[in-house]
Structure 1
Amino acid sequence: MKELCKGLSTAAKQLENPFGISFLGVATAEEAITAIREYGDIQAVIVDDKTYNLTQTPGKGRRNGRPALQMSALELIHTIHDLRPELDVYVLIAQDSESTIVDVLSNEAVDGYFYREERDYPGWYRILNAQLQERARTPFYDQLKQYVFMAKDAWHTPGHSSGDSLRGSPWAEDFYHFMGEHIFRGDLSVSVPMLDSLLHPTGIIEEAQQVAAKAFGARRTFFATNGTSTANKVILQTLIAPGDKLLLDRNCHKSVHHGVVISGAVPIYLDSSTNTEYGLFGPVPKATIFKAIEAHSDARAIILTSCTYDGLRYDLRPIIEAAHQHGIKVIIDEAWYGHARFHPAFRPTALEAGADYATQSTHKVMSAFSQASMIHVNDPDFNEHVFRENYNMHTSTSPQYSMIASLDVARRQMSMEGYKLLDRTLQLAQETKELINSTGVFRVLELNDLLPEAVKSDGVQLDPTKLTVDISASGYTVDELQKLLFERFNIQIEKSTFNTITLLLTIGTTRSKVSRLYDALMRISREGRAPRRIYRTPEVPHFTKLAFLPRDAFYCGGELTPLLDEADAVNQKLAGRISADQIVPYPPGIPVLVPGQVITPEIISYLVNLLRSQKQVELHGVVYDGWLPCIRMLTEAEAGQLLPLDERCRQLANV
């Protein structure tokens, strides 16, 4: 091992070494695993095919006078892959065992092997260096930079023409300087062939997507510049034909519910679990999911959110296996969990658990620009043509090229240093939690606090980088506390419920930010305010029933009907009517009504209570006619013309 490290180190000094590669030697598999776990800068591993435990007690575990094998090279490779799948792995073998080793390695995540007898250290170093440069390459970003530095005159869109329309303008030049020169020079159009086409990639965008697929463990990856909202709709429209059943978590993002309308799916809504003590919504209980899979084994797909906004993630493997036994495709919305591939604390990812599709908001937890997302595909029956048609239907023909470049760079960063950055983030999350708890007033909720009773035995895990803080003892309402943090301490939080705030830690979180947050919360806690009674947000009523296909109801003209009259009395005549729109309180973003759903007195009461609540809640879908809050619902004539849901499904099945 010493000779190998010395030979490679000498080659690194003599040959081109743009990354400053150095070499570390260890004697045992345990030492190797420890080093890989502790040193985030490790980028590649060479595994000796004879992995011996050289530190055993003499006379114990020996065979024929030699130390016993500690673990096979194959076992070590599997362990490395489980810890850090992004690492390049090579195996050092004897030439006389080539055929056996190569046959075994052909099905493993191994990048190559070296013959021990050759001792070709310069050649081995060149291979290691070349592979590292390949992984660090950003095909699209590199090409974009090259084009910008070529300084071509623009006789094409966009109209600002590399920012020339803004420079020198008394009305707009400040925007140019605020945003920076390169944001405009990099804002180009499909008129530039060397930058490829997002809608029909055959060059560097396709290369960048292929590199991303390898990094995230997917068969195929597609960049999305309209956010995960659009990514979800593209997948649903690809898989679902009008009349097909879709199993979906009612807690799904509203884009999924929009996808139901667009695709013409027959939705089977699964009520999520609820934690009324903190106003939080958890996963759908496993028992509910398994029951729905059995009852609707003819469903085309199931879509779940993992992890949730609050960091709760499903035990996905048994759910995916149950769905696949019935031929049901599995889509996982991983908008808040795209970083999971790059640290064992977060794994398995949805794809590793067997999902067919995963959508990720690369911008939420990594370094991409807002709206930059990815669609990952592992579906063995993937129909790329149909997918591409739907993708093009939803994607702008004028995508933002800087956004595409940010996806390329975000992938490179996570592949090269994601483990190290996430390891730091996990440490900061633990420190932040301890500091907040030390105030004696604010408390970070544990997994058991967050879990609704219905899912406490479902193997649900918590993403530790999402901290939910109980503020009940602070003497402030949530709205007051948010305002105080923002105006006095320059702190903007992620979201809140009636008695909690959520803090999102990412690879961009710094210890300085943690210190400032602690200082703010400690100052507030020292005020010694007496706890106040905090009014709970009304509990979301259970899903009622669908009278009509959501798509049919949505495309009716409908009529606006007030929730309250001019005397502020509740309009009880709404009960029994059919919603034509999606009504979504935000937060939390769970639809109370979807198109085609029957309105009940409980739903009316819930919406009115939200309108009157002290907690500021946006009600998406509620329209104001003057001062009167209204919702769009089917007229009696429209309801009479539509086929009931069961009949409509039979009609579509016969088409």
Structure 2
Amino acid sequence: MSKPVSKVLVINDEKMVVRSLTNGLNGAAKHLDNPFGLTFSGVTSAQEALNVLAADGDYQAVMIDDNLYSLEDQDKTQQQSALDLVHCIHAMRPELSIYIMIDEARQDEVVEALFNETVDGYFCREERDYRGWYRILHAQIQERARTPFYDALRDYVLMAKDAWHTPGHSSGDSLRGSPWVNDFHEFLGEHAFRADLSVSVDMLDSLLDPKGVIEESQKLAAKAFGARRTFFATNGTSTANKVIFQTLLTPGDKLLLDRNCHKSVHHGVVLSGAHPIYLNSSVNKKYGVFGTVPKKAIFEAIEQHPDAKVLILTSCTYDGLRYDLPPIIQAAHAKGIKVIIDEAWYGFAQFHPAFRPTALEAGADYATQSTHKVLSALSQSSMIHVNDPEFDEHIFRENFNMHASTSPQYSMIASLDVARKQAVMEGYKLLSRTLELARELRESIKETGVFRVLELEDLLPEEVRNDNVQLDPTKVTLDISQSGYTTDEFQHELFERYNIQVEKSTFNTVTLLLTIGTTRSKVSRLYDALMRLAREKRAPRRLYRVPDIAEFTALRYLPRDAYYAAGEMVPMIDEDERPNPGLIGRVSADQIVPYPPGIPALVPGQVITAEILQFLLGLMRSHKRTEMHGVVFDGYVPTLRVLTEEEAAQLKPLSE
């Protein structure tokens, strides 16, 4: 197993001083315990320092002289304070530990100037206490590399305690040696079962009321991701969104939400009893891709509904489109509206400047992240980040405990701990590699002459072209319309012939997701598969295009009121298999979600129109396989649950 390397950069404008400092520190590292592989190197200008830190992800800390020269020129005609360089380094790599070397005579002046900055400590330059400095730097890296919960879980498993508590497999003993299920034990491995423990183990803390190692791990995560508070969730971002909704919203409260939000957000509307103001997403009809809500529409909604309590947006989207968040959040905050950003697909962004600003950096009050989607956490493992200055922890905790299991999966909590550690210690390095692989993949795909990577200008719907929307380059959308394959056939070929599984598809595109786990070998195998398929030179075929999703119609009743009505099932088609006119004008009692992409076509309380009914039936009749969540089949006849006339008469209609 490879050992870690932790580089420390020393920045001083005198070559002889730099040489003396690095020699002394490397000598200390050689003679003292050095499990993290600390090595020291130096540069003599601020600009050179920034170049080195940008190019090498193995740097973990910097030591900055308190009196440096300009970032732009090195002719020593213009001095620059350490403060400027601290800002530049923090903007580029906020995970780095920063120490300032100061003159003893100027100690109070420098510390006061940097008091509110992200500085981890100070060294008096004249002391040259290399061993003392090394120990401090080593301890700082050790603190960042801690995994309190994972360490406690591993230590407990290695204690080999007899289990007289849940779960029933009793550390795997119920499976081990069984002639029927021992293969499952062998498949998952011994530690998977020994680490599957009960809340009875006090040393592993409680997710529902953390006061020990889980609390420590969450504090480390908050610091890493730039949050005031961070909470671990073991039922995905779906639960995280619902918890925040129930914390911030009471029945009847208004909220502004992107129609493009994940269905869990719409479920949160039902649970909270809130009054949603739906914002229609832009749509790229050429490729069947949903874009962002136009910035103009968001600003207008904020002005028209200043009494809204919450605004929630998804950034980045499934296809990698990112909002220009700072002005949107600023406009919402000006009206006292809290902002939640669903960052399920963007949880890595804090750790590389190519992806920032993050939602929290842009001023969001809450951000939810599917750590399992894009970092090294187990499935369903997510985080809730809080920067709300008015955060009510008691109300939040009550709602969190309402949704969280009293028997959480400890391996998931440990994976969040480990994912945070990896992101802090080598996230910049891994993401730099991922960006390079994404660039290489794009170039390689061009060479096929058949497949084409859609860039930002291809994906952006017309109405958001001036909204400063950005594209996450780790989401690669491939146009296959010239290949002669349907998307179903194309995915089948990749899977059966080349052992490749893609993320998702539309009627003429497939999406490839690059992560910190993507390797150059995987990229090479994908390129080989695409080149082989391209060389078959199939004639392009007309691809069956699914119907465009209908615009959102009127919301007649609160989604919660409509959902909890008994309702009645009404067929979507008549006896001649045409759209049932009896559904037109009725009010849906359920959320109807074509999946993918998972955007509701109907929400509870929404009026059904001929256009929506035609859209749903068109999807169900198309050649593309689409799950239709919320549709119930009576034999072969699809039906929708709608309010009865009696129920509708008893509900209070929403005012416009």
Q: TM-score range by the shorter chain?
A: over 0.9
Structure 1 SS opposite 2:39 = coil
Per-residue CA deviation, residues 46-96 of structure 1 (Å, 9 max, x unaligned), is 000111369968xxx6xxxxx234532111110000110000000000011
Q: Which amino acid aligns with 1:323?
A: A
The 5-angstrom pairing of residues 218-233 of structure 1 reads: 218-233=227-242
Matched, 1:14 2:27: no
Matched, 1:323 2:332: yes
Q: Which amino acid aligns with 1:486?
A: F
Q: In the alignment, which of 72, 82, 86 is matched to residue 73 of structure 1?
A: 82
The 5-angstrom pairing of residues 4-83 of structure 1 reads: 4-52=21-69, 67-83=76-92
Aligned counterparts of 1:167 and 1:413: Cα–Cα separation in 2: 33
Partner of 1:349: 358
Partner of 2:392: 383
Q: CA deviation at 1:139?
A: 0.3
Aligned counterparts of 1:71 and 1:450: Cα–Cα separation in 2: 43
Q: CA deviation at 1:487?
A: 1.0
Q: In the alignment, which of 525, 528, 535 is matched to residue 534 of structure 2?
A: 525
Structure 1 SS opposite 2:52 = helix
Matched, 1:422 2:439: no
Aligned counterparts of 1:479 and 1:244: Cα–Cα separation in 2: 43
Q: CA deviation at 1:616?
A: 1.1
Q: CA deviation at 1:636?
A: 1.0
Kept after mapping to 2: 8 A contact 1:361/1:373: yes
Per-residue CA deviation, residues 389-437 of structure 1 (Å, 9 max, x unaligned), is 0000000000000000000000000000000000000000001111111
Q: CA deviation at 1:569?
A: 2.2
Kept after mapping to 2: 8 A contact 1:50/1:69: no
Deviating runs (4+, > 6 A) in structure 1?
54-57
Kept after mapping to 1: 8 A contact 2:230/2:383: yes
Residues 583 and 55 of structure 1: is their aligned pair in 2 closer, same or farther, counting only changes over 3 Å? closer
Q: Structure 1 unaligned segments of length 5 or more: list them.
A: 62-66, 648-655
Kept after mapping to 1: 8 A contact 2:47/2:72: no
Q: CA deviation at 1:256?
A: 0.2
Aligned counterparts of 1:53 and 1:469: Cα–Cα separation in 2: 44
Q: Which amino acid aligns with 1:378?
A: N
Partner of 2:444: 435
The sequence identity of aligned pairs, in percent, is 71
Structure 1 SS opposite 2:348 = helix
Aligned counterparts of 2:476 and 2:634: Cα–Cα separation in 1: 39
Per-residue CA deviation, residues 283-329 of structure 1 (Å, 9 max, x unaligned), is 00000000000000010010000000000000000000000001000
Q: Which amino acid aligns with 2:346?
A: Y
Partner of 1:499: 508
Structure 2 SS opposite 1:99 = helix
Partner of 2:312: 303
Q: Which amino acid aligns with 1:112?
A: G
Partner of 1:276: 285
Aligned counterparts of 2:80 and 2:585: Cα–Cα separation in 1: 67
Q: In the alignment, which of 545, 550, 553 is matched to residue 562 of structure 2?
A: 553
Aligned counterparts of 1:149 and 1:520: Cα–Cα separation in 2: 45
Aligned counterparts of 1:545 and 1:56: Cα–Cα separation in 2: 61
Q: CA deviation at 1:567?
A: 3.6
Kept after mapping to 1: 8 A contact 2:556/2:606: yes
Partner of 2:368: 359
Per-residue CA deviation, residues 322-375 of structure 1 (Å, 9 max, x unaligned), is 000010000000000000000000000000000000000000000000000000
Partner of 1:652: none
Q: In the alignment, which of 398, 410, 422 is matched to residue 413 of structure 1?
A: 422
Aligned counterparts of 2:518 and 2:598: Cα–Cα separation in 1: 26
Q: CA deviation at 1:640?
A: 1.1
Partner of 2:165: 156
Structure 1 SS opposite 2:477 = strand
Kept after mapping to 2: 8 A contact 1:566/1:628: no
Partner of 1:101: 110
Aligned counterparts of 1:158 and 1:132: Cα–Cα separation in 2: 37
Aligned counterparts of 1:595 and 1:54: Cα–Cα separation in 2: 57
Per-residue CA deviation, residues 457-507 of structure 1 (Å, 9 max, x unaligned), is 000000000000000000011111111111111111000000000000000
Q: CA deviation at 1:645?
A: 1.6
Structure 2 SS opposite 1:485 = helix
Q: Which amino acid aligns with 1:18?
A: P
Aligned counterparts of 2:83 and 2:530: Cα–Cα separation in 1: 50
Aligned counterparts of 1:221 and 1:69: Cα–Cα separation in 2: 42
Length, aligned pairs only: 639
Aligned counterparts of 2:279 and 2:71: Cα–Cα separation in 1: 55
Structure 2 SS opposite 1:25 = strand
Kept after mapping to 2: 8 A contact 1:565/1:628: no
Per-residue CA deviation, residues 206-231 of structure 1 (Å, 9 max, x unaligned), is 00000000000000000000000000
Partner of 2:6: none
Structure 1 SS opposite 2:385 = strand
Residues 644 and 68 of structure 1: is their aligned pair in 2 closer, same or farther, counting only changes over 3 Å? same
Aligned counterparts of 2:516 and 2:614: Cα–Cα separation in 1: 42
Matched, 1:291 2:308: no
Q: In the alignment, which of 175, 178, 193 is matched to residue 187 of structure 2?
A: 178
Structure 2 SS opposite 1:211 = helix
Q: Which amino acid aligns with 1:208?
A: S
Kept after mapping to 2: 8 A contact 1:51/1:69: no
Aligned counterparts of 1:425 and 1:70: Cα–Cα separation in 2: 37
Q: In the alignment, which of 174, 177, 200 is matched to residue 209 of structure 2?
A: 200
Q: Which amino acid aligns with 2:265?
A: V
Structure 1 SS opposite 2:38 = coil
Structure 2 SS opposite 1:472 = coil
Per mean C-alpha deviation after superposition, the further-off stretch among 45-54 and 293-302 is 45-54
Q: Structure 2 unaligned segments of length 5 or more: list them.
A: 1-17
Aligned counterparts of 2:225 and 2:79: Cα–Cα separation in 1: 31
Residues 252 and 56 of structure 1: is their aligned pair in 2 closer, same or farther, counting only changes over 3 Å? closer
Per-residue CA deviation, residues 259-293 of structure 1 (Å, 9 max, x unaligned), is 00000000000000000000000000000000000
Partner of 2:648: 639
